[in-house]
């Protein structure tokens, strides 16, 4: 057991600390893709604080894949108000997919502007009748000369209203078994025939959209992997999404805010944190979080030390992390009582309504990215070796 | 950076597990539970031969001088086999107390004998954690009087280490006059438990324990041993559940193919897997990160007790009616986890302490 990163990283950490200090007052203005945001993203790439291990020829920094350096960058950025590198589904899911499975042309064309934040991507996976059973999707694409013609409907498409491109799963081989009939296409969002309708959520926001696709034509070369290999291509990236949904270090920040809240809120003049049952709930949540943080260390260690296996540890992160976060936000609401139900711009509102917003938002994340019931199927089948449900004839 | 067990730690774990599967089969556990003390003594002798009695004793007193991480590995392995042996009190807490708080003579008298498996020293600090029935001991003029409940590994012990309410520790030879030993019968018959009633008994003060840090260290160590024991036991309950679900058929299918059963197993795994990391991390903090050690020990004991309770219930349910039988014997693990949960503070009590440690009262 050795939790030190080693003295060989001291210089690197000092460099990062220095950069963070010099740039901590950077303020980014304007919407996504604005000049100042792109310039900041490029500056981070130039210093190797973003896109670190992505080759230079594709717009990355071209550094070594050193997990500890990535960790040090994340730790030092987290301590400061410095603007963080942009994220999103293009960066988290599309770029890793293209790097491992894209053609040389696709890598040249898309990775650099995606990293710089000039192209935003949305993910066209779920359909009204294909949620947990994603592989049953019916949106189809047919080759007509040198173009794919896409028809169908997608749902839960995050940030479709902001995106220039969509990586989309479509059925191209209707006669093949369902997992072998899917292809992974890259669809420009300004193509003719795309109708976007925002979905208003329980939070009041509209992060998601429905996409209605009618005779949308895109170039034939906009396919990643071969025809019928789309399921394999998509599965290469779903893991990236799940790991990022419930980072225990973010939950730790929320726990700290919750402790502050319970010290400042009072009932009949008594601090909430001094009420034994409230305090016990808080401490139970802290105990669960500490277990998840230890689990995260094991995962980190398995990325550094190739002989370590942490498959089960990884497969439980989304399930455990989203449930814990939902409960944590819910305890804050209980600690505030009636005040905890205030929303939008109400008088007496605490923390701009963030507790209610996040409480509901994490219920969304318990469902999204593969519902937590699907997560339990994955854990029991892939990690514990239990059998799949028998197939029902015709399904 | 390497977070996990070393090759040496893994092989120690495997050695103990192999020893237990060869020498402490379920039949032997059942015999011990039904009062066969000779069988218990044989298993006890075996773990002494493996070196476990000298695990943390310094080399200069004939021990292996290993750290808390090794100790939790051993405790988890003993828990996985519901080993009917003394360990947490006699071979971790008591040598630690004597080594940290005893004078040269006390160390010379006791540590080599503990390491060699010649003596067993029980530990009674329940009253420091939270006295029941107004029990407790008082020390005046070299004599101890009072009562101590749930003295860990106290049955058949050669000496006892007891704490008063302020956490000062006293060493008492079990041959001294004025000691009445009352055997307590808990649900967990793989381990023993006693109450001591003391009337003007000669006692030696462990001088170093004037510093409260000593009892805190001993308490942390004890709690981690109990938590590790629970992790080991709970992992076996999960493994047995998965194995059973892949044998048992109903409605023409393995019950392990039903989502209801799969989800029960997935939930157990999701709750339990981080507990392995947590116990290693907590032990590592005891060894190397003193500023985080106490909070981590409290939260580890509390959290693992909660997970253990849930896993032991769910695993029993997966086994259906068989889970409830003595024949299958799953209840030995269930009861082991049940006793670990209460010893040295139930989760609510330990969390209360964790809150104070973080200054929540301020």
Measured between CB atoms, does B66 come within 8 Å of chain A? Answer: no
CB neighbours (10 Å) of residue A38?
18
**How many A×B Cβ pairs under 8 Å?**
157
Residue A392 confidence (pLDDT)? 81
Q: What confidence tier does A239 reach under pLDDT thresholds 50, 70, 90?
A: low
Q: Does B260 touch chain A (CB under 8 A)?
A: no
pLDDT of residue B332: 98
Q: Which residues of B touch A264 (CB under 8 A)?
A: none
The C-alpha of A255 sits at a distance from chain B's nearest C-alpha, in angstroms, of: 13
* Pairwise CB contact (< 8 Å): B302 & A284: yes
pLDDT tens for B149-202 read 999 999 999 999 999 999 999 999 999 999 999 999 999 999 999 999 999 999
User: Using one digit for the tens of pLDDT, what is the confidence trace for B241-288?
Assistant: 999 999 999 999 999 999 999 999 999 999 999 999 999 999 999 999
The helix (H) or strand (E) run that includes residue B249 is strand B249-250
Mean pLDDT, to the nearest integer, of A206-222?
96
A184-188, A307-311, B232-236: the lowest-pLDDT one? A307-311
Share of chain B above pLDDT 90, in %: 100
Using a CB-CB cut-off of 8 Å, the residues of chain A touching B265 are 380, 384, 386
Question: Do the Cβ atoms of A388 and B352 come within 8 Å?
Answer: no
List the single residue in B with minimal CA-CA distance to A271. B361
- What is the rounded average pLDDT for all residues in chain B? 98
Among A327, A384, A387, A388, the residue to mutate for chain B (most B Cβ within 10 A)? A384
Instruction: Give yes or no for B280 touching A (CB within 8 A).
Output: yes
pLDDT at B39: 97
- Asked if residue B271 lies in contact with residue B310, where contact means CB atoms within 8 angstroms, the answer is yes
Report pTM: 0.94
Residue A244 is predicted with a pLDDT of 62
What does each C-alpha distance from A359 to A133, A324, A364 come to in angstroms? Answer: 26, 11, 9
The closest alpha carbon to B286, from B128, B96, B119, belongs to: B96
Interface test with B, best of A290, A297, A370 (most B CBs within 10 A): A290
The answer to whether A218 and A148 are in contact (CB under 8 A) is yes
* A306 a catalytic residue: no
When pLDDT is averaged across residues B132-143 and rounded to a whole number, the result is 96
Would the pLDDT of A13 be above 70? Answer: yes
Closest residue, chain A, to B4 (C-alpha): A1
Instruction: Please give the average per-residue pLDDT across A239-243, as a whole number.
Output: 56
Per the CB < 8 Å rule, is A288 touching B352?
no
pLDDT greater than 90 at residue A73:
yes
> Of A2-11, A67-76, A107-116, which one has max mean pLDDT?
A107-116
The whole-number pLDDT of residue A87 equals 86
CA–CA separation, A65 and A269 (whole Å): 54
Q: Higher confidence at residue A369 or residue B92?
A: B92
- A51-79 burial, b if ≥16 CB within 10 A, otherwise e? bbbbeeebbbbeeeeebbbbbbbeebbee
* Bridge partner residues of B253 (DSSP): B250
B305 Cβ under 8 Å from any chain A Cβ: no
The whole-number average pLDDT for the span B336-355 is: 98
Which entry of A147, A173, A241, A323 is annotated as an active-site residue? A241
Residue B145 pLDDT exceeds 90? yes
| B269 vs A274, A291, A383: nearest CB | A383
- Rounded Cα distance between B44 and B37, Å, is 10
Between chains, do A1 and B299 touch, taking CB under 8 Å as contact? Answer: no
What is the distance in angstroms between the Cα of B73 and the nearest Cα belonging to chain A?
A: 13
Whether A1 and B4 lie within 8 Å, measured CB to CB: yes
DSSP A72-97: HHHHHHHTS-SPPPP-SHIIIIIHHH
């Amino acid at each position: 057991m050795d939790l030190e990163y080693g003295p060989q990283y001291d210089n690197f950490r000092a460099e990062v600390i220095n950069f963070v200090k010099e740039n901590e007052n950077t303020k980014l203005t304007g919407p996504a893709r604005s000049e100042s945001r792109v310039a900041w993203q490029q500056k981070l790439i130039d210093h190797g604080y973003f896109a670190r291990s992505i080759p230079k020829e594709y717009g990355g920094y071209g550094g070594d894949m050193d997990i500890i350096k990535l960790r040090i960058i994340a730790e030092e950025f987290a301590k400061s108000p410095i603007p963080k590198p942009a994220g999103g589904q293009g960066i988290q899911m599309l770029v890793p997919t293209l790097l491992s499975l894209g053609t040389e042309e696709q890598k040249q064309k898309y990775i650099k502007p995606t990293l710089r934040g000039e192209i935003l991507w949305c993910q066209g996976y779920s359909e009204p009748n294909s949620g947990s059973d994603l592989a049953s999707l019916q949106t189809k694409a047919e080759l007509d000369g040198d173009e794919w013609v896409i028809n169908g409907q997608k749902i839960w498409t995050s940030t479709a209203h902001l995106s220039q491109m969509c990586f989309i799963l479509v059925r191209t081989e209707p006669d093949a078994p369902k997992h072998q009939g899917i292809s992974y296409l890259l669809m420009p969002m300004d193509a003719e025939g795309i109708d976007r309708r925002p979905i208003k959520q329980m939070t009041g926001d509209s992060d998601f959209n429905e996409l209605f696709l009618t005779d949308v034509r895109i170039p034939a070369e906009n396919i990643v992997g071969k025809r019928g290999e789309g399921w394999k291509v998509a599965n290469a990236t779903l893991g990236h999404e799940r790991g990022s949904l419930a980072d225990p270090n973010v939950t730790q920040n929320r726990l700290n805010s919750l402790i502050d809240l319970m010290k400042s809120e009072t009932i009949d003049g008594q601090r909430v944190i001094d009420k034994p049952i409230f305090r016990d709930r808080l401490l139970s949540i802290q105990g669960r979080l500490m277990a998840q943080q230890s689990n995260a260390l094991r995962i980190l260690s398995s990325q550094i030390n190739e002989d370590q296996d942490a498959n089960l540890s990884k497969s439980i992160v989304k399930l455990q992390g989203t449930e814990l976060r939902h409960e944590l936000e819910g305890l804050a609401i209980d600690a505030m009582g009636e005040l905890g139900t205030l929303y939008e711009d109400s008088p007496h509102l605490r923390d701009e309504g963030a507790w209610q917003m996040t409480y509901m938002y994490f219920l969304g994340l318990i469902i999204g990215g593969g519902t937590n019931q699907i997560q339990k199927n994955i854990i029991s089948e892939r990690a514990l070796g239990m059998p799949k449900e028998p197939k029902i004839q015709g399904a | 950076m390497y977070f996990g067990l070393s090759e040496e730690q893994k092989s120690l774990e495997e050695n103990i597990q192999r020893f237990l599967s060869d020498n402490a089969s379920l039949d032997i556990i059942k015999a011990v539970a039904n009062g066969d003390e000779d069988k218990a003594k044989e298993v006890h002798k075996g773990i002494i031969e493996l070196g476990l009695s000298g695990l943390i004793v310094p080399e200069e007193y004939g021990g292996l001088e290993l750290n808390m991480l090794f100790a939790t590995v051993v405790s988890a392995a003993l828990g996985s086999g519901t080993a009917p042996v003394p360990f947490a009190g006699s071979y971790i807490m008591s040598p630690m107390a004597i080594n940290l708080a005893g004078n040269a003579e006390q160390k010379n008298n006791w540590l080599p004998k503990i390491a060699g498996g010649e003596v067993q020293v029980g530990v009674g600090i329940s009253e420091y954690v939270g006295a029941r029935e107004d029990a407790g001991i008082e020390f005046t003029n070299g004599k101890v009087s009072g009562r101590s409940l749930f003295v860990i590994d106290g049955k058949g012990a050669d000496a006892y280490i007891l704490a008063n309410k302020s956490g000062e520790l006293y060493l008492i030879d079990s041959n001294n006059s004025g000691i009445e030993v009352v055997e307590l019968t808990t649900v967990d018959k793989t381990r023993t438990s006693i109450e001591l009633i003391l009337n003007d008994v000669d006692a030696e003060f462990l001088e170093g324990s004037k510093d409260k840090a000593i009892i805190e260290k001993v308490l942390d160590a004890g709690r981690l041993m109990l938590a590790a024991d629970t992790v080991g036991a709970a992992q076996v309950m999960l493994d047995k559940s998965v194995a059973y679900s892949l044998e048992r058929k109903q409605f023409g299918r393995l019950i392990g193919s039903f989502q209801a059963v799969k989800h029960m197993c997935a939930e157990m795994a999701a709750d339990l897997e981080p507990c392995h990391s947590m116990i290693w991390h907590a032990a590592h903090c005891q060894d190397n990160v003193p500023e985080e050690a106490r909070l981590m020990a409290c939260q580890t004991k509390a959290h693992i007790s909660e997970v253990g309770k849930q896993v032991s219930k769910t695993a029993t349910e997966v086994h259906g009616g068989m889970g409830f039988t003595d024949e299958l014997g799953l209840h030995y693990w269930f009861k082991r986890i049940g006793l670990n949960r209460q010893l040295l503070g139930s989760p609510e009590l330990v969390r209360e302490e964790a809150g104070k440690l973080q200054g929540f009262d301020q």
